[in-house]
Structure 1
Amino acid sequence: MKIDNLQIIRILSGFLTLIFASLINIFAQNTNPENTAFQINQHNTKLSDELVDLFISPPANAKPRVMWMWMGTSISKEGITRDLETLHEAGFGGTTMFSLTDVNTVFAYDFENSFQKNIVAWTEPWWELVRFAAEESKRLGMDFGMNNCPGYETSGGKWIPVEYSMQQICYSETAAEGGKPISLYIPKPTVDPRAVMLGPVHNPETGKLEKPVIPERNTYFKDIALLAIPDDNKPVSPDQIIDLTDKMNANNTVDCMLPEGKWTIYRFGHTTMGALIYPAQWKAAGFECDKMNPDAVSFHLDHIISESKKHLKDLVGNTFSHFHFDSYEAGNANWTPRMKEEFHARRGYDLTPYLLTFADKIFVDSIKTRQFKQDFNATVRDLHADVYFSIIQKKLHEANLIFSSEPYGGPWKEEDVLPKVDRVMTEFWTTNNRYTPYKVKPTIEAARKSGQNLIEAEAFSGQPSMSMWSETPHGLKAIGDEAFCEGINRFVLHRFTQQPYAEKYKPGVSMGQWGTHFDHTQTWWEHGKAVFKYWHRCQAMLLYGKNVDDPNAFKVVTNESNISLKSIQRSHQTIHFFFVANVSREQGNVICSFPYAGNKPELWDPVTTTIRDLPAYTIEDGRIHIPLNFSPSQSFFIVFRTPLSHKSSTLSLKNFPNHKVVKDISRDWSVTFDHRWGGPERPVLFSRLEDWTENTDKRIKYYSGTATYHKLFDCEETLLGKDIFVDLGHVKHIARVRVNGTDLGVVWCDPWMTKIPAEILKRNNNEILIEITNVWANRLIGDEQEPEDMEWGMADFGYGKFRYMKKFPDWFLNNQPRPSKGRYCFTTYNYFTRESPLIPSGLIGPVRLLLIDASTTVPLS
C-alpha cells in the first residue's frame, strides 16, 4: 500500500501527541497532590456507593437467624411451612433447629398425652419432618441446620454405648496387714447410681423430678491401678506407694506381701458419669459422649452425619448446612481410657501415683502435687481441643457441613478451640431488663485473634421474670445495641418456637420458661418486622470492613445528662465509621470526639434509613468534636468517608433540628379493638388518651393485640407543603401510622415520631390511623379471671414459681369447644395468676404535629 507524505506527517503527529499526553499524565500523577487526591476520591466514591448500597439494601448474609425450637411431639408439616414462610417474609436468613422435650423448664418433661404420640427425636417419623423442613427451607432460599443431638446439651444420644460415655474416676478402699503373704479380695468401687449431670428430668417411671438412676454406674467398670499406702494418717511420699496393679487376679483378689504395718489398698477405676443429653424427650435421651476419647467422638460424628445423609440425602451440604454444638453444660469428666498414655506423652511423667489425689490423699511434696493438678487439668484441656473440637471440624468438613458452636464454658481454653469453629456463637441475656453477657468478651477476643469476622450470638436469652409474654421491641433495643458494641454482628434469636396447630391457638407453644418470645404468634410480630430490618441493617454495617480495637478512638468529651454511651469502630481502606449507642433509658446531649479530623462527619440512622451531614463540629489537636443528641436507647452510625473541604469550626450550625408544636390532636379518637380476642365489638370513643388497663370495661382492661385509633383533623394553610412530623408521645408498645391512606411506617422506639411528607396533607379532613399493639400479658391475666380448663404442674427451681401444662386437654386434642368460654389464649406455660399486675398498654400520647424550625435544618448527604 502506498503512503503519501501528508499521511506520514499525520501519523507522526498523532504519535507524538500521545507520547506528550502520557508524559504529562505521568508527571502530574507524581508531582500534583491534587491529582493524587482526585484518584483517592474516585476510589472513595466507589467504596462510598458500596457502603450506601449495603446500608440501604443490606445483603442476605447479614440477615438475623433464629434458634428454632421443636418442642417434643408438638410438630406438624403445616406448622413448619407456616413458621418458615413467616420467617422468610420477615427477613430472616435461616434457622438452627433444636429438638427438645415437650416442656423445658429447668428439667425435661414429656406430656402425659401428646399432640402427636409417634414423634420422637432422631427416629423415622421425626426425620421425615426434618427432611420436610429442609425442603421448605430450600424452596424459600433459607439456611437450615440443627443441633447435633436431641436437646441442647451437648453431644450424644441413644446411640452412645456406655464405654463411649463420659467417664469418672472411682475407687474402693480395703484395709490390709503387712509382714505376711496375703490373698485379699479387693471389691470394685460403688458409686451413687444417679447420673452426674446438671439438672433433673421428669422420670415417667417414678413420676418424680430427679436425676435419673443409671444402672451402668454400678455395672460398668474398668480398672486403672491398684495402689497401697501406709495407713498412718500421714502425708504420702511417692516412695511409700506400692503399685500392685499387676498383682490383681481375674477374680478380684490380690496376692502379695506388704511390709510390716497397716496398709490401705486403693482400687482405682472408671465408670460412666451417666450424664444424659438434655432437655430431651425421655425416649430420646442417651449418654453424653466422651469428649476426650477419639473413638467416642468419631462414633458420634459418624452417626449423626450418616443419619443426616440417609434421611436428607442431597440436601446435606446444600440447604442443610450445619450442625450446631451449644454452650457446654455437660459437666467435667476426669477420665478417658487413654488418659495415662496421653498424660505421659504430653507432660512427660507417669500420673499413676497421683491418682491418690482423687481419693483426697495429701502428699508430702505439696508443690509437686499442685503441679500435677495443673498438669492434669492442662491435659484435659488439650484433649478437648485436640480430640473433641478437631474431630468435629474434620468430620463435618469432610461432609461439606459447617461447624457452628458456642465454644465456651467447658474444660478448655477458648483460644485453643475457636480456630477450629466455622461459625462462632456467643450469648447474651436480658436479665433485669439489661444486657447481660455470658462469656462474650473472651469469645470475641479469641475469635478476632484467629481472624474471624462473623461473630454470632444466641441473642436475648431470657429468664422467666424477663420473658413473660411481656417483652417489647423498644425494651430490647438498648440490649441488642450494647451487644453490637461488644462486637457481635449477627443475632440468632433465642428463641422461635415451632407452632404446629391452628393459628387460633395463641400464643401457643413456648420453650417452657426460657427465652424471649420471638414466635410469629407474638402480638407484635407483624409490626416487629421493622425491628428485624433494623438488626439486618446494623449487622450489614458491622460485618463490613474490619473491627478497629482502639479504646481511644471514640471519646465522650462532654456529657451533661450522664447518659451511657457505648461504641464500636469498623474501617475499610479510607472509610471509617462508628456505631454509637445510648444504652440508657434516658435522653441527653453530648459532645463526642473522633480521630478523623480530616473527614466530613455524617449521621446514618439505621432506624429511619436516613443519611445526613453533621455540619456542627470543632477540630482540636487532630480530633473532630461533634455535638450529638440522643433519645432514650437511640443509636447512630457516625461515618467518615469523604475529606472535609475546610477544617474550621462550624458550631453556628445545628446537627439536630429543633421542633415546635403546631397542633395537638390528642383528644377524641375512635378506637377499634378485635372482638375475636375479647375486645369490644363496636368502636369506642376515647375523649382523651388513656392506658387501657385503667379502663373500667374489662374487654379493654385485659385486651391484648392491635387496636386502631382513628380521627380527622384540619391543617392550617401555612403548614401545607411543608414536612410535618407526628409525635406519638408515649406508646405501649408499638405503632403503625397512616395518614390519608399513606403508610408512614412502624414507630417502635424513641423518638416516637414519623414524618408526614409535604404532599400528603390537605386543608381539611385529614384522616390519621394509628395501629397500636401491646403484649400478650394482659389477655393472659384476664383469662386467669375465668375457670380453669387445663391441668397445670408447678415449676419452682429458684427462678420463680410458674406453671407448665402437664398434658394436652382432651377438648383440645378432640377439637371440641373450650369449656371455659371466657378464655381466649392457649399456651403451654403460664406465668400469671388472677392477681398479677397488668402492663400499661395503648396510645398514651400526647399526639402532636411538629414542624422543623427552618433555621435548624440539617442537610442530607
Structure 2
Amino acid sequence: MNQPTSILFIALTLIAGGLRADEFVDAFRNPPDASRPGVYWYFMDGNQDRDEMIADLRAMKEVGIGSVLFLEVDLGMPRGPIPFMTEPWQDNIAHAFAEAGRMEMEVILGTGPGWSGSGGSWVKAEDSMKHLVGNSLKVTGPAMLDEILEIPPPHPANHFAGMNAVHESERNAWHEDVAVIAFPTPAEETATIDQINIKTLKDVQPYSIRRTLQRFVASRADYTEPDKSSVIDLNQVIDLTSLMQPDGRIRWSVPKGEWTVMRFVSRSTGQTTRPAPQTGHGFETNKFDRESYQRHWENFHAKLIKKIDAKGGPLKPGTGLTTIHLDSWEMSSQNWTAGFREEFRKRRGYDPQPFYPAYTGLVVDSLERTERFLWDMRKTSQELVLEQYAGVIKQIAHEHGLLYSNEPYDMNPAGDIDLGSVADIPMCEFWNAPHDTQYGCIEAVSISHTMGPQVVKAEAFTSSEDAFAKHPANMKNQTDWALAIGINGIVFHTYQHQTLGDKEQPGMTMGPYGVQWHRNQTFWRFLPAYHEYLARCSHLLRQGEAVADILYLTPEGAPHIFEAPEDATEGVTRMRDKKGYAFDAVTPRILAMRARVEGDRIAFPDGSKYRVLVLPDVPAMTPESLATIKKLVEAGATVIGNPPVKSPSLVDYPACDDEVSRLAESIWGGAEVPEEVTRIERGKGEVFWGGALAPSSGLFPSYLTTESILFGLGLPEDFSSPSGKLRYIHRQTEDRDFYFVANRTEERVDTEGIFRIEGRQPQLWDPVTGTTRQLENYEARDGMTTIPLSFEPYQSFFVVFPKSNSGNDRANVAIENFPTLKNSLQLDGVWDVAFDPVRGGPADVTFDRLQDWTKHPESGVRYYSGVATYRKRFDLSTPDVSDDTRLYLDLGTVHDLCRVRLNGHDLGVVWTAPWRVDIASAVKPSDNQLEIDVVNGWANRLIGDLQEGDRGVREVTWKSGLLDGKTFSAGRFSFVTHQHYKPASPLLPAGLLGPVTVLVESSAETP
C-alpha cells in the first residue's frame, strides 16, 4: 500500500470537521465522496466472475455508492469455479480492488473469510482460541501414585463453532499441558459456582439472538458462603507439575488422607471462521496472542496487498483499499493461552495457579475469593483481547497505511464499548428484521463521542425477512432513526456480487439475508436521490461534536453490553429514540484514560461534554475507578449515584476493600444511603445520592429521576416538541449549532420545536433537496427558541443556528415558516401506461383512472415488477400565476419510487414525502406533456412466477461452472438463487395511485 498517502488519509479522517461558513453550506449541497453510503459486497463461496465484479463496481459508482466492504461466505449455495484464496481468486480480487481505486471508490477488507472474526484453513489447532480444562483423580494416602492421568476433554463446542469432521479431529488430537495440582478432597460434597460458563468465558453467546442471556456478570457485596468442609483449602494446594512425564504419567507419594489430583491442559475451543467459504474454513486465531494474528495476516491480508500493489495504487487518498474491518463478534470467547499465568501475575500481582479448579466450577478457599479470582481472570482476558488482538490489528493496519474499523458487538469477552474503542472507525449493526441490536448502535455512537472519531458507520438494514420488500420510502423512518441516534455512515447490507450478470434477474442473493441493494434491483437507477440524502446528512453529522447531557458509567469487568434505563428512550422496537436529554455510555477504562472537567462539564478530547455522570447501581468498584470519580468530582463534575462498598477484585485483598470504603467516605461522606435524593458539595463538584436513585430494574436510576436533577441544575431539555412525534440529534461547531429533526410517524405533523438555543436566527436546511432558507417565525426567551414546524410523513430537516446570525427575541410571526399550498388542478381521467414486455407487462395499456397494479385484471400488470411509464397531457389553468409563483406537481401516493419529466425536462426522482416536484421552470400554459416513470420492487414478479403456468417453465445453467454447473428451475420472467416467497404470499401495493395535482404557493418568498 501507499503508506504516506494512506497515513495522510488516516489523519484527515480522524480530525474533527472545521469548515468555513461558505464551505459548510457548499458541502451540504454537494457532499464529498467520503460521506457517501457504502455496501457490504458479499461473495458466495467461489461464485466469482471478473467482468461482473467490475460491472458491480461501475453500477455502484453510477448511483452514488462510495465504498464497498468485501466479505466471502458460504451459506449453502453450490460452490463456484474460483475457490477462495486460489491464485485466480486472488488475482480477481486484486484487480477489482485496484479498479475500485481508479474509480475513486473506497474498499474495506474483512479480517478473514466469513463475516465474523479472523482465521482460516491455515490456522492449526495449536494456534486457535483456547480454554483451560481439567479433570480429577481421587486418591487415598499414604500411597504411591503411579499412573497416567487422563487428558481432560475439550469443553463442549458452542452452537456457533461450525467445526466439520476434520476440524473436530484436529481439535481432539491437540492439547498442551499446563499444570498438575493436588489438594485434600473436601469432606463434604464440593461446592460449585453458578453461571460457570460465562464466569469462566467458556461460552459467551450473541445477545442479539438470545436476549434472555446475561449481558454482564454482576459482582456482589456479600456472598452466602458454603461450609468450609465443602471448599478447596487454598493453603494446602500442592503443585505437582514437575512430577508429570511427557506421556502424562505421574509418580507421587501421596500423603495421608483423601486427595484430589487435577490435570489441567489447554484445549482448542473449536471455534472456526463462520460462515466461511470451504477453502477458507478453519480455526479462529488465538485472541490472546499477537503472533497468532500476525501469522494470519501473512497468510491472508499480506498476500492480497502484495497483489493489489502490483496492480497499481489508487488515484487519490481515501480510495482503493483503505481499511481492515473486524465484523460482529460471533466467536464466543476463550480463557487461556500459553503465558497466561505470567500475564496474570504481571497484571494482577498474584499467582492464579492455586485457583485453577475454579475454571471447572469448584470453590477455592471461599466463594467470595473464588468469584474475585474469576473477575480478575476475565479482566486479564479483556486486556489481552484489547492489546494482543484488536490493538495488533490496528497496529499492523497502520503500518500498511490502513485504518481499522470494528463492529464490536455481540457479547465479546472484552466488553463491547472497550473493544470498539480501539478502532479508528467504530461500527454497529441495525436490523430491519427480526433482531433488535439498537444497544450496539448506542454503544458505537458512545465510542465516537468519548474517543473522538467523527465517523460512526453501521451495517444497515440487515434482514432475513421481506428481503425484496424494502425500498427508500419504507426505509426512510429507520434511516432517520439511525441518523438521530448518531450514526453518520450507512453501509447497506447487502450488495450480493451479481456473478450471473443481468440476463437472469434478480439473480444472486445472500441466501435469505439483506435488502438486495444491487444492480439487478428494479429501482437501482432511481437510487442516487436517496443516496444523496444520506450523503448530505452523513456529512453534516460528522461536523463538530455531539451535544449530550447524560453520561452513563458502565460497571467494571467483562463481558458487558450497555443498555440505558428503559425510560431513557421512546418509540418502537429497533427504533427507540433518545429523549430530550441525550446520553452516551462510557467504561471505567475510557473514563480514567480520557475524561477531564471543563467548567461543570465532563469533557473528552475531540469528543462530547456531559453535565452529569450517572453511576451504575453496583456494590463493587475497584479503588482505581473510584479514585477517578473522586478526581472528577473535585474538579467540578456532577455525579449521580450511590457508593460502592467493596472491590470486585482479589488484587490487594482485603486492603482493596478498605481503600474503597475510604474513597467512598471522602466522596459521599458515609456509607448509610439516605432515604431521599440528597445533594452533597465536594470540591468544585457535587454528588446526588439517596434511596430514590436505586433502580427498580436494570443498572441505572430512572431517566425521570436524572431528568429532575438536570432540571433542578437549571438545564432544560436540549430539544422537545408538544407533539411528542419528533426525534432529534444536536451537534455544534465553532460557528454554528444544528439539529437534525425528523417526524417519526406516518402522519403530517404541525407542531413547535423547542431548542436550547437563544439569540440566533434559525435556518431550515432540507437534506432531500439540498436547499436552505431562513425561518422568520420563531420566539426566543429564557435560553430557548421555539419554532413552528411542519412535517410531512417521515420528513426530516436540519434546523441550523449560525453564531454569526444574531436573531430577535420575537421574529415576524406574520410570515409562515411553511407556506400553505393550494390545489390548483387535479389530473383526473385517462392515463396511458407502458410496461416492459420483457418483464411480462403490456407494452401499452390505458388506465381509466389511477389504480394499484395488483388490482388489475391482467396478470401481466398484477404481477409486474419494474418500471412503467405514465403519460398524460394537460393545460395549466391557474389564473393567479405570476413570475414569482411556485408551482408543484404533487403525486399523492406512489409505490415505490418515480421519476418525473415535464415537457422534456427531467425534474428528478421522488422517493419520499412530500411526493412532489417543483414544475415552475418547466410548465407551460397549455399542452403540457407529462411522463412519470414509476417503479416497484421484485416481490410481485417473484410471487407471480410461482403461480401455475409461470412456475418452473424454464431451466437455467452456467457452463462456466458457476453454481457448481447445476441446473436450476426458473420462473417465466425471473430467476433467484433463494426463493423468498410462496405462491400465496400477499402482493405488495404497486404503481401511481395519486391523486396527481398541481399545487400553487402564491405567497412564496425567496430569502
Judge same fold: TM > 0.5, yes or no. yes
Give the letter aligned to residue 524 of structure 1: F
Q: Which residue of 1 aligns with 2:634?
A: none
In terms of mean alpha carbon deviation, does 711-720 or 490-499 score higher? 711-720
Aligned-pair distance for 1:598?
Answer: 1.5
1:512-661 correspondence to structure 2 within 5 Å? 512-550=511-549, 551=581, 555=718, 558-560=721-723, 562-563=724-725, 565-641=726-802, 642-644=804-806, 646-661=808-823
Give the letter aligned to residue 737 of structure 1: V
**SS, match of residue 718 in structure 1:** coil
Give the letter aligned to residue 162 of structure 1: A
Give yes or no for contact 2:866–2:935 (8 Å, CA) kept in 1: yes
Give the letter aligned to residue 256 of structure 2: E
1:429 aligns with 2:425: no
Aligned-pair distance for 1:332?
Answer: 0.7
Q: 1:729/1:238 Cα in 2 relative to 1: closer, same or farther (>3 Å)?
A: same
Instruction: Identify the match of residue 64 of structure 1 among 16, 37, 47.
Output: 37
Instruction: Identify the match of residue 221 of structure 1 among 149, 165, 175.
Output: 175
1:298 aligns with 2:297: no
Give yes or no for contact 2:523–2:897 (8 Å, CA) kept in 1: yes
Q: 1:345/1:331 Cα in 2 relative to 1: closer, same or farther (>3 Å)?
A: same
Q: 1:276/1:790 Cα in 2 relative to 1: closer, same or farther (>3 Å)?
A: farther
1:781 aligns with 2:744: no
Q: 1:558/1:125 Cα in 2 relative to 1: closer, same or farther (>3 Å)?
A: closer
Give yes or no for contact 2:125–2:171 (8 Å, CA) kept in 1: no
Aligned-pair distance for 1:789?
Answer: 7.7
Give the letter aligned to residue 126 of structure 2: E
Aligned-pair distance for 1:477?
Answer: 1.1
Give yes or no for contact 1:554–1:567 (8 Å, CA) kept in 2: no
* CA distance, structure 2, for counterparts of residue 791 and residue 579 of structure 1: 51
Give the letter aligned to residue 999 of structure 2: L
Give yes or no for contact 2:56–2:519 (8 Å, CA) kept in 1: yes
Q: Which residue of 1 aligns with 2:661?
A: none
**SS, match of residue 255 in structure 2:** coil
1:825 aligns with 2:974: yes
**SS, match of residue 69 in structure 1:** strand
* CA distance, structure 2, for counterparts of residue 256 and residue 815 of structure 1: 60
1:151-189 Cα distance to aligned partner (Å, 9 max, x none): 112111112122111112222222322212221221112
Q: Which residue of 2 aligns with 1:28?
A: none
* CA distance, structure 2, for counterparts of residue 717 and residue 787 of structure 1: 51
1:85 aligns with 2:68: no
Q: Which residue of 1 aligns with 2:123?
A: 160
Question: Percent identity of the aligned residues?
Answer: 32
Q: 1:64/1:820 Cα in 2 relative to 1: closer, same or farther (>3 Å)?
A: closer
Give yes or no for contact 1:198–1:330 (8 Å, CA) kept in 2: yes
In terms of mean alpha carbon deviation, does 812-821 or 475-484 score higher? 812-821
Give the letter aligned to residue 506 of structure 2: P
1:754-807 Cα distance to aligned partner (Å, 9 max, x none): 1111x4222332111111111100000001114798799xxxxxxxxxxxx9x9
Q: Which residue of 2 aligns with 1:245?
A: 241
* CA distance, structure 2, for counterparts of residue 814 and residue 404 of structure 1: 32
**SS, match of residue 566 in structure 1:** strand
Q: 1:817/1:724 Cα in 2 relative to 1: closer, same or farther (>3 Å)?
A: farther
Q: Which residue of 1 aligns with 2:139?
A: 176
Give yes or no for contact 1:603–1:638 (8 Å, CA) kept in 2: yes
* CA distance, structure 1, for counterparts of residue 887 and residue 459 of structure 2: 40
**SS, match of residue 781 in structure 1:** helix
* CA distance, structure 2, for counterparts of residue 90 and residue 230 of structure 1: 72
Q: Which residue of 1 aligns with 2:414?
A: 412
* CA distance, structure 2, for counterparts of residue 811 and residue 269 of structure 1: 49
* CA distance, structure 2, for counterparts of residue 429 and residue 619 of structure 1: 40
Give yes or no for contact 2:107–2:323 (8 Å, CA) kept in 1: yes
Q: 1:185/1:73 Cα in 2 relative to 1: closer, same or farther (>3 Å)?
A: closer
Instruction: Identify the match of residue 895 of structure 2 among 732, 744, 764.
Output: 732
In terms of mean alpha carbon deviation, does 297-306 or 58-67 score higher? 297-306
* CA distance, structure 1, for counterparts of residue 19 and residue 246 of structure 2: 79
Larger Rg: 1
Q: How many residues align?
A: 775
TM-score by length of 1: 0.85
1:795-821 Cα distance to aligned partner (Å, 9 max, x none): xxxxxxxxxx9x968899799999978
* CA distance, structure 2, for counterparts of residue 399 and residue 700 of structure 1: 55
Q: Which residue of 2 aligns with 1:750?
A: 913
* CA distance, structure 2, for counterparts of residue 385 and residue 348 of structure 1: 20
Aligned-pair distance for 1:72?
Answer: 1.6
* CA distance, structure 1, for counterparts of residue 294 and residue 895 of structure 2: 53
Aligned-pair distance for 1:110?
Answer: 4.6
Aligned-pair distance for 1:604?
Answer: 0.7
Instruction: Identify the match of residue 991 of structure 2 among 815, 827, 842.
Output: 842
1:384-408 Cα distance to aligned partner (Å, 9 max, x none): 1111122212222122222222234
Give yes or no for contact 2:162–2:271 (8 Å, CA) kept in 1: no
**SS, match of residue 370 in structure 1:** helix
1:75 aligns with 2:224: no
Aligned-pair distance for 1:377?
Answer: 0.3
1:484 aligns with 2:457: no
1:741 aligns with 2:741: no
Give the letter aligned to residue 549 of structure 1: A
Q: Which residue of 2 aligns with 1:11?
A: none
Give yes or no for contact 1:110–1:282 (8 Å, CA) kept in 2: no
Aligned-pair distance for 1:310?
Answer: 3.1
Aligned-pair distance for 1:657?
Answer: 1.1
Q: Which residue of 2 aligns with 1:666?
A: 828
Q: Which residue of 1 aligns with 2:626?
A: none
Give yes or no for contact 1:343–1:349 (8 Å, CA) kept in 2: yes
* CA distance, structure 2, for counterparts of residue 816 and residue 418 of structure 1: 42
Give yes or no for contact 2:718–2:755 (8 Å, CA) kept in 1: yes
**SS, match of residue 484 in structure 2:** helix
* CA distance, structure 2, for counterparts of residue 310 and residue 747 of structure 1: 45
**SS, match of residue 218 in structure 1:** helix
**SS, match of residue 768 in structure 1:** strand
Give yes or no for contact 1:415–1:447 (8 Å, CA) kept in 2: no
TM-score by length of 2: 0.73
Give the letter aligned to residue 997 of structure 2: R
Aligned-pair distance for 1:527?
Answer: 1.0
1:536-581 Cα distance to aligned partner (Å, 9 max, x none): 1111211222322243686555534x42x22112222222211111
* CA distance, structure 2, for counterparts of residue 817 and residue 197 of structure 1: 31
1:713-770 Cα distance to aligned partner (Å, 9 max, x none): 121151555432111111111111111111111111111111111x422233211111
Aligned-pair distance for 1:200?
Answer: 4.5
Give yes or no for contact 1:317–1:399 (8 Å, CA) kept in 2: no
Give the letter aligned to residue 227 of structure 1: I
